[in-house]
A and B are shown apart, each in its own frame.
Chain A
């Protein structure tokens, strides 16, 4: 069966450093991979989408890579700030991109 693993339940880093979160998957050939941010008591918020034929995508301080050979995505937040503290979810979808499968998330804490 399809499996998505976000390799850390929790990650603590110092303000100003780069946070790197990992999403691995098995038994799946996704066409799209998305990253979401979720704050406590709120619904997830879309951050970035990357297609299977894209290696990297950037948006402001965020960068996502997608390696379909390794079956892995890396999500980077550069110059991290305490306001970046949240749970980050990765999600995969097939070619029609109408149904997402989510990982369990990584709780990022950025310490001042």
Chain B
């Protein structure tokens, strides 16, 4: 458990409304990630952050923006939600090991439905 929480855990929203998902970590990790997971596509990277105010795009970034004003919080915003953004969203952090290698730890996910 890397102390990752996501809020909200479930959300139903209407097309065209803005939505913000929050990821919070308690262990001060530098790298944080947002993924979406859909049947038939698997996990796909939306955006990631490598420090406060340092973010970059992933594979499926269109329609999403992110912000990281504090180490512990990484926000994902859908400026104007569309039905194609109905998905399960996972936040993750990159955690180092004693071997010098890294792995990712995932939050519990947010299930977003856009109607």
Contact = CB atoms under 8 A, between A and B. Distances in A.
Interface of A: 32, 34, 41-46, 49, 51, 89, 97-105
A44 to B, nearest CB: 5
Interface in B54-103: 58-59, 90, 92, 94, 101-103
Interface of B: 31, 40-45, 48, 50, 58-59, 90, 92, 94, 101-109
B101 A97 contact: yes
Contacts of A97: 101-102
Contacts of A49: 101, 103
A32 B104 contact: no
Given A97-B101, A98-B94, A99-B48, A45 B42 contact: no
A3 to B, nearest CB: 12
